[in-house]
Amino acid sequence: MKILRFHVPKMDSLVRRTEHRSHFGTVSEVSNFLADLYDQGYQYRSINSYRLSIASAHDRVEGMSIGQDPVITRLMAGIANSRPPQSRYTAMWDISIVLRYLEKLGDSLALSLKNLTLKTAMLLALTRLSKSADLHSLDTQLIHLNPEGVSFKPSKQPKQKKAAKIGHKFFFPKYEENQFFCPA
């Protein structure tokens, strides 16, 4: 509990109330703490971070993480409904600027390794709605070239295993309309 108190000063009040016990507060105390954060104006993502921190240090309650307790999950759902998470990305950028720059670079065969790598990474990112971690997991040892494009098998399991499929591959089709924008 000392580590959490040091890293998350707001949790000090919860720690002080519960430090004489072997666990980190009852479900009621944890839910009251999270509700207090809501009353203080904290946003959903911040409160959820506290919930996850508490759950990581808390003993299991009836075989389940306190963060998954029905009372806590209902509270978090209520917070999400009344104060929905704000979009992390409020600014939009003009993709045409990037595409004009990539076209200005010219033929990929004439590029330095650094510029070729940056161009390829940008084209792969633009042709697939993925997280940067997905692109990072692409491994040239696990590449399969075919006439329609290029497919990669990820070198590691994605963070969100629910969305991951066993043997899932990333496919990047050829873009024959303009060779400067073809990621394959």
pLDDT tens figures, 27-70: 888 899 899 999 999 999 989 988 988 888 777 777 888 888 89
Lowest mean pLDDT segment, chosen from 40-44, 47-51, 98-102, 155-159:
155-159
Q: What is the mean pLDDT of the chain?
A: 78
- Domain spans of the chain, in order of start: 2-82, 95-181
Contacts of 135 (CB under 8 A, 6+ apart): 121, 124, 125, 128
Note the pLDDT of residue 75: 94
Cα–Cα dist 51/149, whole Å: 44
- Least confident range of 26-30, 58-62, 119-123, 126-130: 126-130
Which of the pair, 174 or 37, is modelled with greater confidence? Answer: 37
- The band of 113, judged by pLDDT with boundaries at 50, 70 and 90, is very high
CB 134 within 8 A of CB 158: yes
The pair of structure tokens assigned to 49 is 């971070």
The answer to whether the beta carbons of residues 58 and 72 sit under 8 Å apart is: no
Look up residue 60 and give its DSSP letter: P
**Which residues lie closer than 8 Å to 4 by C-beta, 6 or more apart?**
11, 15, 53, 54, 57
* pTM to 2 decimal places: 0.47
Q: What is the pLDDT of residue 80?
A: 93
Going by pLDDT thresholds of 50, 70 and 90, the confidence category of residue 107 is confident
The 3-state DSSP class for residue 179 equals: helix
Tokens at 24, concatenated: 């980190």
What are the structure tokens assigned to 153, written together?
A: 């098998």
The confidence score (pLDDT) of residue 40 equals 92
Residues 64, 55: Cα–Cα separation, whole Å: 10
Decide: 119 and 99 in contact? Cβ < 8 Å.
no
CB neighbour list of residue 165: distance below 8 Å, 6 or more residues apart: none
Query: In the prediction, which pLDDT does 61 show?
Result: 76
- pLDDT score at 39: 93
